[in-house]
A = this chain, B = another copy of it.
Amino acid sequence: MNRQIPFLRSPIVLAPIAGPGTPELTAAVADAGAFAFLASPYSAPDAIRRDVERIRELTDKPFGINLFVESELQQIEDDVLHQADARLDTYRDELGIAHHERPARPPAHYREQIEAVLEARPQAFSFTFGIPDAGTIAALKEAGIYTIGTATSVEEARALEEAGIDAVCAQGAEAGGHRGSFLNDGANVLIGTLALVPQVVDAVTIPVIAAGGIGDGRGVAAVLALGATAAQLGTAFLLAPEAGTSPAYRAALIRASARDTVITKAFSGKAARGIANRVTQELSDESLRAPYPYQNALTRDIRNAAAKQDRAEYLSLWAGQASALAREERAAQIVRRLLIEAREASVQAATALETIPITQG
């Protein structure tokens, strides 16, 4: 079985990072010899077009675009939405921003986002929270776009292969940001990368990209030993100058230990890993939040204002469990370091194992 991903020049992939991701970061990582995604789940179709144009001004290397797959929109009572929105007014008062007469609602532009991707023809399209419908998959393939779905369990990986997706990103519980889960609740099924990757490799025949908890080149070498074709890293790039990580977010990342992240639905209504703060603590109870994607729309003004005012306690501080390994280096230097470290780590493991006597069974 062929587990090659034809356009990869190295086994390093920049994860789609909604929020701090920028066209500049995507272009810098692509230019340095890794494959890089741009996360566009919150972008209007026109913004996707502009971002793609910007990447292409900065690099001639291939790159990918990532979206959230739209699931059937859960209907929601007006008063549930009003109540969840009212719960956030304390934060708005503290940040000095306006209350809303009508709660913000999520935009309905998924089809137009897909159209923008089809027009842009990136090398790859990756997605989370589900599987696009058969027509969309056919249109992506028709446009020559390589498809990568996100799985947090063996069952999700199998579903992706059955739908004809080209490769699977196996996302372990260590990963920062949103969990891509779609058959299980991402807050309940939390399989670590070390356990998940080999089981996914055994369950499917398509290439597997490993994600979650890979903080440096040792992690890259480790997931290649597990059978992955490549390692996808997000948090490792958050301190690069090319990332749009806000100063408060950078400071929180530098301070955090591995035990400081939590799985939270406080910001979006969907499970995501980030550094614990006031919002993750205060909105941990389901009754205080609207479901996804409503909660995400409700908290947007707060997150935007908090970033501007440098207030980490209101920010979604997405980070994986290896965030302490992230370094303040230029993106190209991070890619270079990851490859050097990975090579050293893999040689070290191979050397340790080659001299062990293996007894007859």
Residues on A close to B: CB < 8 A? 9-11, 32-33, 153-155, 172-174, 184, 189-196, 198-199, 202, 212-216, 218-227, 257-259, 320-322, 324-325, 332-333, 335-337, 339-340, 342-343, 345-350, 352-354, 356-361
Contacts and interface: CB of A to CB of B under 8 A. Distances in A.
A359 B345 contact: no
A77 B212 CA distance: 44
Contacts of A360: 336
Copies in the complex: 2
A258 B191 contact: yes
Contact of A257 (B154, B259, B342, B352): B154
A147 to B, nearest CB: 23
B215 A33 contact: no
Contacts of A216: 198
A135 B361 CA distance: 43
A349 B225 contact: yes
B222 A194 contact: yes
A186 B130 CA distance: 31
15 contacts: A189-B259, A192-B192, A192-B193, A193-B195, A194-B219, A195-B213, A195-B258, A196-B258, A199-B258, A218-B225, A222-B225, A225-B349, A227-B348, A343-B353, A343-B356
Nearest to A230: B352
B154 A258 contact: yes
Contact of A321 (B10, B195, B258): B195
